[in-house]
Amino acid sequence: MNTHDNGAKNTLLTPGNVITAIILLVGLFITVLRFTKGIGSVTALDDNNPWGIWISFDLLCGVVLAAGGYTTTSAYYLFGLKHFRSAVRPAITSAFLGYAFVVFALHYDVGQPWRLVYPIFVSQGTTSILFEVGLCVFLYVTVLAIEFSPAVWEWLGIKKLRSLVLPLTIPLTILGVILSTMHQSSLGALYLIAPSKMHPLWYSSFIPVFFFISSMFAGMSMVIFEGILAHKGLHGKMDALHLKQADGVVLAFGKASAFVMMGYLFIRFYGVAMDNNFKYLFTGYGLWFLVETIGFVALPAFLYAMGARERNVSLMKIAAVITVLGVVLNRFNVSQVAFNYQLDASERYFPHWMEIGVSVFVVTLIITAYRFICTKMPVMYEHPEYKDAH
């Protein structure tokens, strides 16, 4: 008995678990400080910079990186691509957690978090883009929760609830695509009202289109990236079907990403041409714009295309990592680097370490929840009682 207890303790006291525990403790400390002392006690925000890293990372990046949900379910349920079957539940799980924790993280950023539900249930400002974003995210979190629930009902052995949800799969998938199209683009449309504050290379009337199209290849690349991590940490939880289809998912999503990214690259430069902003390409900001578009869009698109031609899964995985980093870079460029670019360095926003701590805390919660779900529930494998019934 003592030997078993010592083994359990040794299993828990791993470097990863210790680091996770430290991050969670620090995050809880900052959380208490935030909600007892106010938002000003843990941020570097001011009247010139009311939106900081929590909007850039927790919201903009969180939403776009959770787009794997609608891209994967569309591929499997709407386009009938059966080789995506094993990827559906992991994608829905990550999308649900991503959106749920986006809403959770927003409580830190809203001055009066108890009023977060007001736009939906109390005072609807229907002419506001933020209202549309909030409503779509609220509805899409609900859709994802229902799509995710069969794994929970199978885990708990509640067959009646599972049988009630399954007929809703196609309608929910269609609704998820509609809602994603709306709020992914609307997040970009938020910045249309600030033409004088954004650098011309990132400001464009096409920015809603940029945000939506980039969400397509971001979602597909994130599915590949998550697969890389899952195969390292959760390999033992994967069944034969998941292992068999893994490379096919990478090749198919990589090939699709290559096409979408080349189209995205074209319209980015088309936007520059439409506004006659080529002269800005020969400035410091122009160089950074080229780093983003060439280094993190054109390069991974080329790697994806090469991987598709050579059927090189490893090359596509490298492209996926670069693409994910590039999407994060783009969202930070739009919301931080290019925003308020005309201010002096002393007036520019730089996040407080506690703001970064909260973001790390939220990401750690997502990873911890994802690992728990995939360890306990039939996500990476099919439940033996429901074989071929998904």
176 membership: H or E segment, kind and range: helix 169-189
DSSP characters over 340-354: TTTS-GGGS----HH
| 81-107: average pLDDT | 94
Please tell me the number of Cα atoms within 13 Å of 102 on its side-chain side: 25
Beta strands in the chain (DSSP E): none
pLDDT at 128: 82
What is the dihedral angle through the alpha carbons of 318, 320, 324, 326, rounded to the nearest 10 degrees? 70
CA Rg value for the chain: 22
Q: Answer whether residue 6 shows pLDDT above 80.
A: no
pLDDT tens per residue, range 258-285: 999 999 999 999 999 999 999 999 999 9
Name, in order, each residue with C-beta under 8 angstroms of 352's C-beta and a sequence gap of 6 or more. Answer: 42, 43, 44
- Burial (CB count within 10 angstroms: exposed 0-12, middle 13-18, buried 19+), residue 102: buried
State how far the Cα of 131 lies from the Cα of 119, in Å rounded to an integer.
Answer: 6
The pair of structure tokens assigned to 245 is 């289809």
Q: Which DSSP letter does residue 275 get?
A: T
Q: Which residue has the higher pLDDT, 131 or 74?
A: 74
Residue holding tokens 């439940």?
A: 383
pLDDT at 1: 45
Per-position b or e across 21-56, b if 16+ CB within 10 A of its CB = eebeebbeebbeebeeeebeebbebeeebebbbbbb
Q: Are 77 and 237 in contact (CB under 8 A)?
A: no
Q: Diameter of the chain by CA atoms?
A: 75
User: By mean pLDDT, which of 205-209, 229-233, 354-358 is the weakest?
Assistant: 229-233
Amino acid at 322: I
Q: Which residue has the higher pLDDT, 123 or 66?
A: 66
339 by DSSP, 3-state: which?
A: strand
pLDDT at 222: 97
State how far the Cα of 158 lies from the Cα of 146, in Å rounded to an integer.
Answer: 14
Q: Answer whether residue 325 shows pLDDT above 60.
A: yes
Q: Which DSSP letter does residue 282 get?
A: G
